[in-house]
Structure 1
């Protein structure tokens, strides 16, 4: 394969109908206003049923995503002086590099407020009516052995990608979880298709045995016999299993948006 910029692809649309374990990347619009938390809970319930998550973990995940959706409705509109915001999205994918886990993300089109907003939250004052949502998220993810945080990114749904922010949480998968057979595109092509869908212009070089994907002046990924090795500017190469194509694509989009926001890129999730 000679060097070429990937054309538009329908892969991301097909991925929304794929099983998570088989590499699917569901992306669902959330309603604006008070309906967002309930819709997020229903979506997460369906996702975790597929993964056979224990009831306690599934309950905690629904509470966490409800808090994140509520926070997104309140703050994405407030930051722009608007009513409760539309344009909210819920995403989910699996990642495998350091351990099997599900990553659930709530996207909103509000501006990136800086990393300090997503540090370990302080206790709300006694008698306060609000401000406890992120404390709940922090406590439940920690108790389950998961992680959470936020970063700038781009939307996935709609006519064109829009800048905004993602707040995510991850929870470990049940013991014995393993990735299913990845259907469709090879890992480098899959990453490239996901990046094209987000408005980036990756370039693929090489052939079936060894393929390299790069973003101009940005990260690069090399795939040899199904193993991904990714290098971000200023960082050492990091290896990933082929099943982590979605995770790698999301890290690249995050890097791009952090650079655009003129912030120091944070450590890659899972790195």
Structure 2
């Protein structure tokens, strides 16, 4: 936590939130019904600079029949109290369908995430990288999540990664030395710094699993 600049109190909040998300996954999602695939919950943690510098803590489980209620909760209510705590501690939180990152690529489920502010400006926000390397990494990461048909091509100073969607509308991710640009499922143009590659990858997987996800 110190590596990304979190102060002691925020780091403690992030650890508590991660514990609550993991407990929720074990106590509720994994007991939800016969549709649950064989796969343990996964803890994902990464930093991003967009929309603001944040530490993202996410717990993945393989159940989509049980979804958390994102409405504000009374902390005195025994049902969903853990997520109420997460909502109180984090700057933002939510849930969306996605696929396993650490297990088999055919394991699909959902992620429940929360975000905590990082001190800004982020020191590496202007990091650049050869587009061809970023494009290859993005293609490999998506393929590793079971996304079939991802392709990439390269030009002078720019690369293009094409990501198929189930609805037939491909996502074209333009990779420049410092940025990635693509259009979300809602039609919004998204421009992200290269240091947000992990977050962009997860957003793309989410958009494939749920057409309404960015």
TM bracket, shorter-chain basis: 0.7 to 0.9
The count of aligned residue pairs is: 206
Match of 1:91 in 2: 44
* 2:204 maps to which of 246, 252, 267: 252
Report if the CA contact (8 A) 2:128-2:178 is conserved. Answer: no
**Higher RCO (CA 8 Å, separation ≥ 6 residues):** 1
Q: Which residue of 2 aligns with 1:54?
A: 7
User: Secondary structure, in 3 states, of the residue corresponding to 2:210?
Assistant: helix
For residues 138 and 147 of structure 1, do their structure 2 counterparts lie closer, same or farther at Cα, with a shift above 3 Å needed? same
User: Which of 43, 61, 68 matches 1:108?
Assistant: 61
Instruction: Report the CA distance shift for 1:150/1:233 in structure 2 as closer, same or farther (over 3 A).
Output: closer
Shift of 1:215: 1.3
TM-score computed with the length of structure 1 as normaliser: 0.68
Is 2:117 aligned against 1:166? Answer: no
Q: Name 1:196's counterpart in structure 2.
A: 143
Out of 98, 115, 120, the position equivalent to 2:71 is: 120
What secondary structure does 2:51 align onto? Answer: coil
Instruction: Flag the 1:208–1:96 CA change in 2: closer, same or farther, 3 A.
Output: farther
Whole-Å Cα distance in 2 between the matches of residues 49 and 245 of structure 1?
A: 21
Matched, 1:242 2:213: no
Instruction: Show the 5 A alignment for 1:137-216.
Output: 137-141=86-90, 146-179=91-124, 186-201=133-148, 202-216=150-164
In the TM superposition, what is the alpha-carbon distance from 1:81 to its structure 2 partner?
5.9
* Contact kept in structure 2, 1:188 and 1:245, CA below 8 Å: no
Deviations 1:200-255 (A, max 9, x none): 13111233511111112332211234321111244121111111111111111001
Q: What is aligned with 1:34? A: none
CA contact (8 A) 2:54 2:117 kept: yes
Of 131, 151, 168 in structure 1, the residue corresponding to residue 80 of structure 2 is 131
Distance apart, 1:82 and its partner CA:
9.9
Structure 1 gaps, min length 5: 1-47, 260-264
**C-alpha offsets along residues 136-176 of structure 1, whole Å, 9 cap, x if unaligned?**
111111xxxx2110000000123433001100111111234
Q: Choose between structure 1 and 2: higher strand proportion.
A: 2
Between 97-106 and 180-189, report the one with greater CA deviation.
180-189
Asked whether the equivalents of residues 226 and 241 of structure 1 are also in contact (C-alpha less than 8 Å), the reply is yes
Question: When you count helix as a share of all residues, which structure comes out higher?
Answer: 1
Partners of 1:112 and 1:165 within 8 A in 2: no
